[in-house]
Amino acid sequence: MCGIIGIFNNDKAAELAALGLFAEQHRGQESCGMAVNDGKIIKLRKKMGLVKDVFTPEKLKILQGKIAIGHVRYPTRGTSSIYNSQPYIVETLSGPSYALSSNGDIINYKEIRQELEAKGVYFSSKNEGELILKYIVFYVEKEGYSIIDSIKKMMKNIKGAFSAVLATKEALYMFRDPYAFRPMTYGKTKEGSVVVASESCALDILYMDWKKEIKPAEIIIVNKNGIESIENNPNDFRVTSTEKHCIFEHIYFSRPDSFIFKENVYQVRQKIGNLIAEDDDINADVVVPVPDSSNIIALGYARKRNIPFEFGLIRNHYVGRTFIQPEQTIRDESVFQKFNPLPNFFEGKIVVMIDDSIVRGTTLRKLTKLIKHAGAKEVHLRIGSPPVKNSCFYGIDTPTQKELIANNKSIEEIKDFMGADSLKYLTIEQLRKTVKEPENFCYACFDGNYPVR
């Protein structure tokens, strides 16, 4: 999971891009970068670290230009290194320059890379963004394709998830894979600049006049003539008859104030909470979320069951998201740095603790122990998604299948491992009820039905 931003036609393009990236910081905290076009050259700054530290006002002053693209990264393909951070740029001898940011992952990465390397294309990283950029540039510069035709060729041959923005010296191109796995929204600001971002929350901060989601396989060109949309038939490029949005974006990844895949994330999370509550009969004293990603699910559950909702666990916001940290050792240590129980709160209480998902199970096990140690009489775990049994190949860093707890243990065994008094997951049937167009979603990490392999 990563976040992208693109700005066209704004004298303060870099500042706006930094604001957008800051709003998308939850999508990646490992590195960030920006490429800014001043009409002559594309300047690039990328660094390990957070947006506020990398793009200080002093650094933004150097990045002058009217077109900017940016990226926040959380690693999937390639190691945690600056070489794998985005955006990527290509300068050509004939003059044009290209810069690209993308969110997603490519299934046939190895095959496509070998194909390009055999034709003399050089790679400096193992990142899917560099592959997409170099593919497009190769067919434009060496084979005489237009940029649009090259993007279409890329859509036909590169399989997987990509929501991407490409900048040249004159234009911004935005495009999305035919399955539309990852979210992507664009719009126009009140002053006439065009902005594109992974999540709508990044556009809200920039005061938009209007905004809309980019369609599957759609390519949008923004240049001095305005905005042009090329609506391709996604079925020309994919093997499924519908789009396959990542349902996990609604469960966990996206911000609750974002509007993605035609729905409000907040409302979907409330429905998840309502549905887990529907057939539950635990007589609890309090409902406690694992903050922050489970807050709204827990609120939906508590309201439906008429049980008090309380923030019994306090989160330290200066520690990164647990799931998002690349190293297991860092993850383990951060659980206790990150959560602390309220003093004198849990004693003698029957607690329903809500989490959005269980991946390895390490965090929730420690939290259950923490709450019991704080005096809870019983801890009942309710999970806002079905058991995660399969790895993701579309841009989410789920561990290997053997590391997924639901792949190795039954629900009863997981409950015992957690030290909980009971454990209940949302079912896939219930999850499908939380969105308006359930057939348009990917559920592969739960049911193993991968839309494309």
Stretch that binds ligand SF4, among 258-266, 295-303, 426-434, 440-448 (CB under 6 A): 440-448
* Nearest by Cα to 148 from 198, 223, 69, 199: 223
* 74 makes contact with ligand SF4 (CB under 6 A): no
For residue 410, how far is the Cα from the chain centroid?
A: 29
* 246 makes contact with ligand SF4 (CB under 6 A): yes
CB of 218 to ligand SF4, least distance (A): 19
CB of 390 to ligand SF4, least distance (A): 7
* 443 makes contact with ligand SF4 (CB under 6 A): yes
Q: DSSP letters of 146-209?
A: -HHHHHHHHHHH--EEEEEEEE-SS-EEEEE-TT--S--EEEEETTS-EEEESSHHHHHTT-EE
Q: Which is nearer to ligand SF4, 64 or 401 (CB)?
A: 401
Stretch that binds ligand SF4, among 92-100, 268-276, 423-431, 438-446 (CB under 6 A): 438-446
CB of 372 to ligand SF4, least distance (A): 31
* Nearest by Cα to 202 from 12, 54, 5: 5
Write out the binding residues for ligand SF4, residues 175-194 only, by CB under 6 A: 181
* 247 makes contact with ligand SF4 (CB under 6 A): yes
CB of 12 to ligand SF4, least distance (A): 35
Q: How far is CA 415 from CA 301, 332, 410, 419, in A?
A: 20, 20, 9, 6
* 251 makes contact with ligand SF4 (CB under 6 A): no
Q: Where are the alpha helices (DSSP H) in 6-158?
A: 13-23, 51-54, 57-62, 109-118, 128-141, 147-157
Q: Which is nearer to ligand SF4, 261 or 339 (CB)?
A: 261
User: 194 with 203: CB under 8 angstroms?
Assistant: no
Stretch that binds ligand SF4, among 163-171, 205-213, 349-357, 388-396 (CB under 6 A): 388-396
Work out the burial of residue 433: count CB atoms within 10 Å of its CB; fewer than 13 is exposed, 13-18 middle, 19 or more buried. middle
User: 383 with 356: CB under 8 angstroms?
Assistant: yes
Q: Which is nearer to ligand SF4, 175 or 394 (CB)?
A: 394
Residues 394, 418, 434, 435: which binds ligand SF4 (CB under 6 A)?
A: 394
Annotated catalytic residues are: 2
State how far the Cα of 449 lies from the Cα of 453, in Å rounded to an integer.
Answer: 10
Q: Where are the alpha helices (DSSP H) in 10-74?
A: 13-23, 51-54, 57-62
Stretch that binds ligand SF4, among 166-174, 292-300, 345-353, 443-451 (CB under 6 A): 443-451
Q: How far is CA 164 from CA 108, 185, 419, 431, 450, in A?
A: 17, 11, 43, 28, 22
Residues 248, 261, 346, 417: which binds ligand SF4 (CB under 6 A)?
A: 248
CB of 103 to ligand SF4, least distance (A): 12
* 396 makes contact with ligand SF4 (CB under 6 A): yes
CB of 140 to ligand SF4, least distance (A): 30
Residues in contact with ligand SF4 by CB under 6 A are 181, 246-248, 392, 394, 396, 442-445
